[in-house]
Amino acid sequence: MKFGKRLNQQIQETLPEWRDKFLCYKELKKLVRLISSSTPGNLLNGGSPVYGKPESEFVFLLNNQIDKFNTFFMEKEEDFIIRHKELQQRIHRVQNIWGPNGSHASESYYKEEIGMIRKDIVNFHGEMVLLINYSNINYTGLAKILKKYDKRTGSLLRLPFIQKVLEQPFFTTDLISKLIKELETTIDAMFPAGDASYHEDEQLLEESRKKIRENNYEIVIMGEGIFRNTVAALLTVQQIRTGSSTYSQFSLPPVNLSDSELILQSTQ
């Protein structure tokens, strides 16, 4: 599947309020087509490139896109930090009040509250996986459109630009990955494997794992809500981070299958 089609598919499969936050790949591709391959950018005496109008618009739009990614990513990251802390406080509060050893122990209230917490954990975990995917697919899009630009112009813009991208907040996902792992630990502690509440999604999860093992990404994700979005995002991450004949220094590293299964398992 060509990247532009894959990006459009991912945009449709993400949360509606996120859809205008992705790379404007189509607009950038149009600008690249306007650039003549016979007129690469000239250089001033100081070595700075001199761009024509399409080239200038292309570089301006690229920088604008990075600013957009950073703003959105940092807002979500801050929100996730706050929500993660509030979720942990909520769990402790429910356990201390309604739990077996709580001040007002009640099995029915405890079960009801924990059920709602479970749903919120699944949704929260899914959003964080979607943000990791957001970072991955936008980085991949930048690398691909810069490759097209260099090929069209004869310039060498991709390497310095990607070096700049690697230092941007939207590319730095370590904190989100840490929050995901902490949430998975919470899931394992509160909802052990075999819990009856997992039964509803079990068949879909197993089918998704099977498709990933077979490298078969052309599947229809059934179901609704964040669970469906998360599985679709995971398949996209797996696809764009799988090594191939076009693997290069600009590619994201291949994702480990065990990590993929862990993400899927935790969304049960």
Q: 100-140: per-residue pLDDT in tens?
A: 899 999 999 998 998 889 888 888 888 888 898 899 899 99
Of 8-12, 217-221, 240-244, least confident by mean pLDDT is: 217-221
pTM of the model: 0.74
CA distances from 246 to 29, 49, 80, 110, 240 (A): 20, 28, 35, 53, 11
- What's the rounded Cα separation, in Å, for the pair 262 and 268? 10
Band of residue 268 on the pLDDT scale cut at 50, 70, 90: very low
Residue among 190, 211, 196, 187 nearest 265 (CA): 187
Residue 237 has pLDDT above 90, yes or no: no
pLDDT tens-digit readout, 11-51: 887 888 999 999 999 999 999 998 865 455 544 444 455 55
pLDDT at residue 223, as a whole number: 40
Q: Which residue has the higher pLDDT, 41 or 144?
A: 144
Give me the numbers of helices (H) and strands (E) for the chain, helices first please.
9, 2
Beta-bridge partners for 50: 42
Q: 43 φ, ψ to 5°?
A: -120, 140
